[in-house]
């Protein structure tokens, strides 16, 4: 679908930290290999195009992290969760770090649009954190983790995001041995922090 191609290209530009002011409908059309008139069939302005692209992605992520992800065993689910976070951060780093979006792009949107996106970003972060909590509760049920404390749980979650922020960039090779070691190390860190 052409609209989804546009969304993906806009999101790619945002993830590449392209300056908001420098994004144009013409550039997006060129990157999508379609005419500018095609873009205008879907969006009346750059702001509408960017806003709808972000909303599209946020809805997709909220759905994935809230209903498509199935918790099985603690270690398996934690590894899958970490892979999903890596993929999410690599595709759109601001998804799990809403403040980066707020600093870089919110000032260019209308107040209503910025507020809607801000709410959705924090909702998505809550959904991701809730899933992390469910996974850790599974670890508690299995005896891998002791009694889970909310403070340590939040600390472990922020530690994951912080560690990945330093590691994830556009050239990150998800299938490399380094990526596998990183995921194993993060799993070990979570267990240590929560025990």
Residue-wise pLDDT tens digits, 34-83: 988 888 899 988 889 988 988 898 888 888 888 878 889 999 999 999 88
Which own/partner contact pairs does 155-160 have at CB distance under 8 Å and 24+ positions apart? 155/193, 156/132, 156/189, 156/190, 156/193, 156/194, 157/129, 157/132, 159/189, 159/190, 159/193, 160/82, 160/85, 160/132, 160/186, 160/189, 160/190
**Token duo for residue 148:** 């889970």
pLDDT at 133 exceeding the cut of 90: yes
Segment 79-97 mean pLDDT: 76
pLDDT at 98 exceeding the cut of 70: no
In this prediction, residue 94 carries a pLDDT of 61
Q: For 156-190, what is each residue's pLDDT tens digit? A: 998 888 787 777 665 677 777 877 888 888 888 88
In this prediction, residue 66 carries a pLDDT of 86
In this prediction, residue 97 carries a pLDDT of 63
List the Cα angle 82/174/137 in 5-degree steps: 10
| Rounded alpha-carbon distances, angstroms, from residue 140 to 47, 133, 143, 156, 165 | 46, 10, 5, 15, 27
Q: For 19-44, what is each residue's pLDDT tens digit? A: 778 888 888 999 999 988 888 899 98
pLDDT at 136 exceeding the cut of 90: yes
Segment 116-141 mean pLDDT: 90
């Amino acid at each position: 679908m052409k609209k989804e191609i546009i969304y993906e290209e806009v999101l790619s530009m945002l993830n590449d930290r392209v300056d908001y002011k420098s994004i144009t409908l013409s550039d997006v059309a060129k990157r999508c290999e379609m005419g500018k008139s095609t873009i205008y069939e879907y969006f009346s302005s750059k702001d509408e195009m960017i806003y709808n692209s972000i909303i599209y992605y946020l809805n997709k992520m909220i759905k994935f992290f809230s209903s498509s992800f199935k918790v099985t065993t603690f270690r398996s689910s934690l590894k899958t969760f970490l892979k999903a976070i890596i993929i999410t951060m690599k595709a759109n780093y601001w998804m799990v770090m809403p403040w980066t979006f707020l600093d870089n792009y919110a000032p260019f949107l209308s107040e209503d649009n910025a507020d809607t996106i801000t709410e959705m970003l924090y909702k998505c972060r809550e959904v991701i954190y809730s899933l992390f909590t469910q996974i850790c509760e599974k670890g508690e049920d299995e005896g891998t983790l002791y009694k889970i404390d909310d403070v340590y749980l939040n600390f472990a979650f922020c530690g994951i995001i912080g560690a990945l922020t330093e590691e994830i960039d556009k050239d990150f090779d998800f299938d490399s041995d380094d990526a596998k070691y990183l995921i194993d190390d993060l799993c070990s860190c979570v267990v240590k922090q929560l025990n």
